[in-house]
């Protein structure tokens, strides 16, 4: 009888020990998760410190008068260059107008300024975008097309991906019959460094729906954007 009691107490103790160990492991996992989430949030101060390091690395003295405020200014400028990470196009394209009064031809918005940065060198990509869509039931305010270009531009990009992202976002949000996007831009990583072809520009096109299937639409679009 006593032996049985001792055995069962022993079992209970083992069980409690297991629970304790498990709770310790869960605490550890929680700590690791918390550490990781802190790591992804970089403060302005940390960014400024990094720019100070780069100044030293290029051979400058970050403490000289002209450079003291530079890391702060660069951090602020970077917030502007990369503000697209904090914005979504769903919001921009959520307000559409259903009353198109039978308008069923393409809407073309030309020469939208593109200011982006290449993801390989973080060098500026400067150029223009042309955006066209063929409405099905909904149209969108014209400025919204330019804002979609801006949201995706203000991120680290490749020109190919930027072109596709703009087209797909508009196609999806408007449920359009077709979308065409062209970007013509110069990459400073090519014009200012590397092979230094200062007049080279890159043209990318992306077609969806009717623009892809019907070459007559594509040709008309192309004629509009070269005018
Ligand atoms: Zn590049």
Residue 16 located in a structural domain: no
Q: Report if residue 101 sits inside a domain.
A: yes
Question: DSSP letter at 15?
Answer: H
Ligand 1 center to 219 CA (angstroms): 31
pLDDT at 138 over 80: yes
pLDDT tens digits, residue range 186-213?
999 998 888 888 889 999 999 999 999 9
Q: What is the pLDDT of residue 16?
A: 66
Query: When comparing pLDDT for 52 and 12, which is higher?
Result: 52
Residue 1, pLDDT above cutoff 80: no
Residue 40 has pLDDT above 80, yes or no: no
Is 119 annotated in the active site?
Answer: yes
Mean residue pLDDT of the chain comes to: 89
Catalytic residue list contains 189: yes
Q: Are residues 74 and 105 in the same domain?
A: no
User: Residue 38 above 60 pLDDT?
Assistant: no
Domain termination residue (choose one: 80, 101, 128):
80
Catalytic residue list contains 101: no
CA of 84 to the centre of ligand 1 (A): 19
Cα-to-centroid distance, 93 and ligand 1 (Å): 30
C-alpha–C-alpha distance, residues 104 and 177, integer Å: 9
Residue 220 inside a domain? The answer is yes
Give the tens place of pLDDT for each residue, 103-131: 889 999 999 999 999 999 999 999 999 99
Q: Report CA(196)–ligand 1 centroid distance (Å).
A: 12
* Side-by-side strand order, sheet with 107-118: 156-157, 107-118, 124-134, 178-187, 202-209
Domain range for 69 is 44-80
Confidence band of 8 (pLDDT split at 50, 70, 90)? confident
Q: What percent of the chain has pLDDT over 90?
A: 69
Instruction: Decide which of 20 and 116 is more confident.
Output: 116
Same domain, 61 and 145: no
**Per-residue pLDDT tens for 164-184?**
999 999 999 999 999 999 999
Q: Residues 72, 139: one domain?
A: no
Please give the model's pTM, rounded to 2 decimal places. Answer: 0.80
Q: What is the pLDDT of residue 88?
A: 93
Please tell me which residue, 98 or 29, carries the higher pLDDT value.
98
Residues 94 and 203 in one domain: yes
pLDDT at position 103 is: 85
Q: Is 172 helix (H, G, I), strand (E, B) or coil?
A: helix
Q: What confidence score (pLDDT) does residue 227 get?
A: 78
Query: Is residue 132 scored above 60 in pLDDT?
Result: yes
Residue 63 has φ and ψ, to the nearest 5°, of: -95, -5
Are 109 and 139 contained in the same domain? yes
Judgement on whether residues 140 and 73 belong to the same structural domain of the protein: no
Q: Let me know if 187 is a catalytic residue.
A: yes
Q: How many domains does the chain have?
A: 2
Residue 8 lies in a domain: no
CA angle 48, 42, 169 (to 5 degrees): 110
């Amino acid at each position: 009888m006593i032996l049985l009691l001792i055995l069962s107490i022993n079992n209970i103790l083992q069980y409690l020990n297991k629970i304790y160990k498990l709770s310790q492991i869960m605490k550890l996992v929680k700590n690791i998760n918390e550490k990781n989430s802190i790591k992804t949030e970089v403060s302005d101060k940390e960014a400024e410190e990094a720019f100070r390091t780069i100044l030293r690395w290029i051979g400058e003295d970050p403490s000289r008068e002209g450079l003291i405020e530079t890391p702060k200014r660069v951090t602020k400028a970077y917030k502007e260059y990369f503000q697209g990470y904090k914005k979504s196009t769903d919001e921009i394209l959520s307000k559409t107008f259903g009353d198109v009064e039978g308008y069923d031809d393409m809407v073309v918005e030309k020469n939208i300024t593109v200011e982006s940065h290449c993801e390989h060198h973080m060098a500026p990509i400067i150029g223009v975008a042309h955006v066209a869509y063929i409405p099905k039931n909904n149209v969108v305010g014209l400025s919204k097309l330019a804002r979609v270009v801006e949201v995706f531009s203000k991120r680290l990009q490749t020109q190919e991906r930027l072109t596709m992202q703009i087209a797909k976002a508009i196609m999806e949000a408007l449920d359009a019959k077709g979308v065409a996007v062209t970007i013509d831009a110069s990459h400073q990583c090519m014009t200012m460094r590397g092979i230094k072809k200062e007049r080279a520009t890159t043209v990318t096109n992306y077609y969806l729906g009717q623009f892809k299937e019907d070459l007559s639409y594509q040709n008309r679009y192309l004629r509009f954007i070269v005018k």
